[in-house]
């Protein structure tokens, strides 16, 4: 069942080019395994497995790298892991069935999508208190925050919208219609655009943050695959804003998109059901979670070739990397 | 309203008042000029959806299989709520207008009343015969029908209509979905036990067609005559335990027993009571359906939770078929940016149309008979066993078209 293409590719890649200079810990949430796998980015080996709550999905790390936050969806909570000890040190109220969240750039506020209640819950991380609950569309999912922290974007999967929320008032200011089942929202590092993936629609909508209108629609074509199999989910955009990576779900590939021309430049075959992505802090590689292959793949962002796949827990979903 | 006024540039009081006046006389035109950023005061468009159903209390061989009072209807109501959650951002308000009749009743008067009440979109959960009694009437009145209940192939074939969309799968789609799984399992030798009512025979026909299509062999067929028997008797179980082995005695070698008993006369009695120990599939045992109350894949948990919370029970196939039809209308009104019948119809019939319904891929209509193409779930009473189409059943256009009557074989001439 496992894909061996990526392993094969790893042997021909130039390891010294590909190896990041820092050893960063990579945290992977395993949806079916109820665990978080910790991988050393330098050795690309599993160093630890941490048992967490039921159905861990969304995962992120504090800007200082001290705390990993995991949505334990079926336990209706967000768990906090101390990265120094690997122990769970507490939990945050999350509202029911948290799936994805985003942390404000200053690390103080967590914005959580509650799928069952059509709400976005805003949590103050320090006091662990609920600051606000914002009604949004049906099945809120993706959460993106602008680099200046002033705007969050939530996507609702059955309403098919990106909701722009002002973080000072907690009010929706704009609703932008996108394609079917929007899964993920990602701001460009300069805050000029928000990219929203539509899993069933098979597209990525580029929304201009100034006018809040869709300016480009990126589509994907892979020879030998039907359009239904191409289901964009996770998105990451490089810090210079030039390149974007889009996880394509059951198409088993990550698309490399020129973020200035919106053209797809390459498809990188990684593993089955590619879900989420995270850059290494130096930007030299990006990691994909491959749910049905039970592994993650390190991709070299210079060559856009897979470097190595590492087996993690059951059904890897999200990934977060400790900062330098 | 405040948002609108505050965002206009107001040089003096007179223009301010004039602007305010305009706001009252032509709200829709004014808001249409607003940029998407200022959509706090959208005018509300009312979209009425009719739901015409035939209902009578029914018995089943197992009390667990008795259809709930609001089967189907509950799915439509959940979808109305979903559409309205979206609608609050877009200025849409959906309402459901329900009309109930009996199984063999004349549905024309009820339907005419629905037309008179201004329904342009009507979901139907009625028999094929009843649907045909109103289909052309609907067309003349400019009404689009969404068949959420009838699985009869004839409605998509000889008796297809250009104003009737089908979210319910056909018997042939269900039989093909089941057949693909059985063939994938290498259970190719089938025995077919079928009931004596018309619907049972139609299901049996679909099974025979599926066997030929996917390389299975029906080694023997047996008819179970309905001689009229109470479904609920205190000691009936003792009799059944004697009857079923005898009914399945002396069959040629076979891998699986297929039951065609939509009428609930004997099907549920077959599993575990066959003469030779064999798995049972069809309308009992392993069943093909458009939805399963335990399906949680592809975001299904969310609709299941939403449905259970609203209705207090699990979501059944007909609920999903009705949910999908109402969502199709919600999606079409939003994308077409119009609630006018013509615009909605054009959008649904366009290549751009697709709908997400928790089945792992987008669903679309077959443009030769307006049947919704969809994966078929294969499950027993407790869990989903598989989903068809099975891997390896290829198709030049869409793997979903390996299920049911395909374009080259269709007898439908849309009119």
Kindly list the structural domains of chain A, giving each domain's residue range(s) and its CATH number in brackets, ordered by start: 5-321 (2.130.10.10)
Question: B97 vs chain A: nearest CA distance in angstroms?
Answer: 23
**pLDDT band at residue B234 using 50, 70 and 90 as cut-offs:** low
Check residue B396 and give its pLDDT. 86
Task: Provide the ipTM.
Answer: 0.81
Distance (Å, whole) CA A287 – CA A48: 18
Chain A residue with Cα closest to B360: A200
Query: Which chain B residues have a beta carbon less than 8 Å from that of A160?
Result: 86, 331, 334
Q: Is residue B330 a part of any domain in this protein?
A: yes
Q: Is residue B115 a part of any domain in this protein?
A: yes
Q: Is residue B395 a part of any domain in this protein?
A: no
For the segment B50-73, what is each residue's pLDDT rounded down to a tens digit?
999 999 998 888 889 999 999 999
Give yes or no for a contact between B128 and B161, defined as CB atoms under 8 angstroms apart. no
Of the candidates B287, B284, B264, the one whose C-alpha atom is nearest the C-alpha of residue B274 is: B284
Give yes or no for a contact between A10 and A17, defined as CB atoms under 8 angstroms apart. no
- Number of domains observed in the structure of chain B: 3
Check residue A8 and give its pLDDT. 46
Whether a cis peptide bond, with omega within 30° of 0, leads into B389 is: yes
Among B289, B312, B340, residue at a domain's last position: B289
Chain B residue with Cα closest to A174: B37
Residues B307 and B336 in one domain: yes
Q: Which of A159, A173, A211 sits opposite B85 (nearest CB)?
A: A159
Residues B219 and B307 in one domain: no
- The answer to whether B355 faces chain A, any CB pair under 8 Å, is yes
For the segment B163-180, what is each residue's pLDDT rounded down to a tens digit?
999 999 999 999 999 999
Among B289, B320, B349, residue at a domain's last position: B289
Scan residues 92-151 of A and list those with Cβ closer than 8 Å to B.
Answer: 97, 115-116, 118, 137-139
Write a three-state SS string for B80-106.
HHHHHHHHHHHCEEEEEEEEEECCCCC
Strand A98-103 relative to strand A56-61, pairing: unpaired
Query: Which chain A residues have a beta carbon less than 8 Å from that of B89?
Result: 137, 159, 161, 163, 172, 175
Check residue A214 and give its pLDDT. 97
Check residue B145 and give its pLDDT. 98
Residues B298 and B165 in one domain: yes
Scan residues 359-388 of B and list those with Cβ closer than 8 Å to A.
Answer: 360-362
Residues B55 and B153 in one domain: yes
Q: Is residue B379 a part of any domain in this protein?
A: no
Whether B235 has a pLDDT exceeding 80, the answer reads no
Residues B281 and B181 in one domain: yes
Check residue A277 and give its pLDDT. 98
- Which CATH number does the domain housing residue B78 bear? 3.40.50.2300
Residue A81 DSSP code: E
Whether A206 has a pLDDT exceeding 60, the answer reads yes
Residues B152 and B255 in one domain: no
Distance (Å, whole) CA B276 – CA A324: 67
Q: Which domain holds residue B51?
A: 45-169+292-374
b/e for A141-173, b at 16 or more Cβ within 10 A? bbbbbbeebebbbbbbbbbbbbbbbebeeeebb
DSSP tally for chain B: helices H, then strands E: 12, 14
Residues B140 and B236 in one domain: no
Highest mean pLDDT among A87-101, A106-120, B1-15: A106-120
Mean of all residue pLDDT scores within chain B: 89
Residues B154 and B262 in one domain: no
Residues B248 and B324 in one domain: no
Residues B132 and B57 in one domain: yes
B266 C-beta neighbours (distance < 10 Å), count: 24
Residues B190 and B283 in one domain: yes
Q: Percent of chain A at pLDDT above 70?
A: 93
Give yes or no for a contact between A152 and A146, defined as CB atoms under 8 angstroms apart. yes
Q: Give, in degrees to the nearest 5, the angle at Cα A151 between A240 and A105.
A: 60
Query: Which chain A residues have a beta carbon less than 8 Å from that of B309?
Result: 116
For the segment A287-321, what is each residue's pLDDT rounded down to a tens digit?
999 999 999 999 999 999 999 999 999 999 999 99
Cβ–Cβ gap B36/A157 under 8 Å? no
Residues B105 and B144 in one domain: yes
For the segment B305-339, what is each residue's pLDDT rounded down to a tens digit?
999 999 999 999 999 999 999 999 999 999 999 99
Q: Is residue B413 a part of any domain in this protein?
A: no
Question: A13 vs chain B: nearest CA distance in angstroms?
Answer: 33
Check residue B227 and give its pLDDT. 81
């Amino acid at each position: 069942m496992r894909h061996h293409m990526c392993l094969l590719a790893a042997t021909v890649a130039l390891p010294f080019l590909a190896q990041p200079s820092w050893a960063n810990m990579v945290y992977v949430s395993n949806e079916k395994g109820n665990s978080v796998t910790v991988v050393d980015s330098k050795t690309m080996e599993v160093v630890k497995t941490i048992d967490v709550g039921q159905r861990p999905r969304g995962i992120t790390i504090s800007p200082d790298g001290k705390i990993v936050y995991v949505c334990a969806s079926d336990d209706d909570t967000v768990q906090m892991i101390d990265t120094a000890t690997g122990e769970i040190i507490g939990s945050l109220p999350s509202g029911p069935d948290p799936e994805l969240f985003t942390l404000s750039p200053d690390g103080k506020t967590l914005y959580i999508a509650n799928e069952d209640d059509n709400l976005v819950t805003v949590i103050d991380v320090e006091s662990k208190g609920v600051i606000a609950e914002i009604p949004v569309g049906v099945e809120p999912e993706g959460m993106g925050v602008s680099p200046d922290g002033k705007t969050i974007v939530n996507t609702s999967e059955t309403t098919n919208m990106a909701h722009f929320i002002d973080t000072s008032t907690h009010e929706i200011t704009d609703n932008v219609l996108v394609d079917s089942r929007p899964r993920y929202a990602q701001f460009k590092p300069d805050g000029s655009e928000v990219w929203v993936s539509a899993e069933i629609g098979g597209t990525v909508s580029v929304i201009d943050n100034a006018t809040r209108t869709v300016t480009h629609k990126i589509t994907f074509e892979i020879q030998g695959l039907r359009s239904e199999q191409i289901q964009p989910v996770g998105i990451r955009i490089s810090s210079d804003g030039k390149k974007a990576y889009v996880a394509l779900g059951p198409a088993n590939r990550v698309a490399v998109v020129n973020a200035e021309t919106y053209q797809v430049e390459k498809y990188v075959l990684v593993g089955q059901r590619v879900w989420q992505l995270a850059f290494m802090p130096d930007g030299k590689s990006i990691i994909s979670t491959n749910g049905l292959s039970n592994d993650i793949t390190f991709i070299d962002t210079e060559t856009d070739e897979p470097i190595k796949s590492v087996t993690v827990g059951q059904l890897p979903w999200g990934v977060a990397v400790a900062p330098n | 309203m405040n948002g609108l006024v505050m965002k206009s540039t107001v040089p003096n009081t007179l223009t301010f008042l004039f602007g305010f006046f305009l706001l009252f006389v032509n709200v829709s035109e004014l808001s249409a000029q607003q940029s998407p950023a200022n959509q706090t005061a959208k005018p509300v468009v009312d979209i009425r959806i009719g739901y015409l159903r035939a209902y009578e209390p029914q018995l089943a061989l197992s009390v667990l299989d008795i259809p709930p009072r609001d089967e189907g209807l509950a799915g439509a109501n959940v979808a109305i709520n979903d559409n309205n959650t979206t609608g609050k951002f877009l200025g849409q308000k959906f309402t459901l207008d329900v009309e109930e009749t009996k199984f063999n009743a004349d549905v024309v008067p009820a339907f005419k009343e629905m037309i008179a009440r201004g329904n342009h979109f009507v979901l139907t959960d009625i028999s094929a015969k009843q649907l045909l009694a109103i289909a052309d009437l609907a067309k003349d009145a400019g009404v689009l029908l969404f068949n959420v209940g009838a699985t009869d192939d004839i409605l998509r074939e000889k008796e297809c209509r250009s104003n009737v969309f089908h979210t319910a799968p056909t018997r042939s789609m269900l039989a093909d979905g089941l057949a693909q799984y059985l063939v994938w399992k290498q259970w190719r030798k089938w025995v077919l036990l079928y009931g004596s009512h018309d619907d049972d025979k139609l299901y049996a026909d679909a099974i025979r067609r599926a066997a030929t299509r996917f390389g299975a062999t029906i080694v023997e067929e047996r008819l179970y005559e309905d001689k009229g028997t109470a479904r609920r008797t205190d000691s009936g179980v003792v009799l059944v335990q004697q009857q079923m082995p005898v009914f399945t005695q002396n069959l040629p070698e076979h891998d699986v027993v297929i039951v065609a008993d939509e009428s609930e006369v004997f099907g549920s009695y077959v599993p575990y009571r066959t003469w030779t120990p064999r798995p049972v599939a069809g309308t009992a045992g392993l069943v093909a359906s458009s939805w399963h109350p335990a399906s949680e894949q592809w975001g299904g948990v969310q609709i299941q939770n939403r449905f259970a919370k609203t209705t207090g029970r699990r979501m059944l196939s007909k609920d999903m078929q009705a949910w999908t039809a109402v969502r199709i209308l919600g999606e079409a009104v939003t994308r077409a940016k119009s609630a006018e019948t013509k615009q909605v119809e054009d959008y649904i019939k366009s290549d751009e149309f697709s709908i997400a319904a928790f089945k792992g891929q987008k669903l679309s209509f077959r443009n030769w008979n307006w049947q919704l193409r969809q994966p078929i779930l294969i499950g027993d009473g407790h869990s989903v066993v598989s989903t068809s189409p099975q891997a390896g059943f290829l198709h030049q256009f869409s793997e979903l078209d390996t299920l049911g009557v395909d374009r080259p074989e269709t007898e439908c001439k849309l009119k």
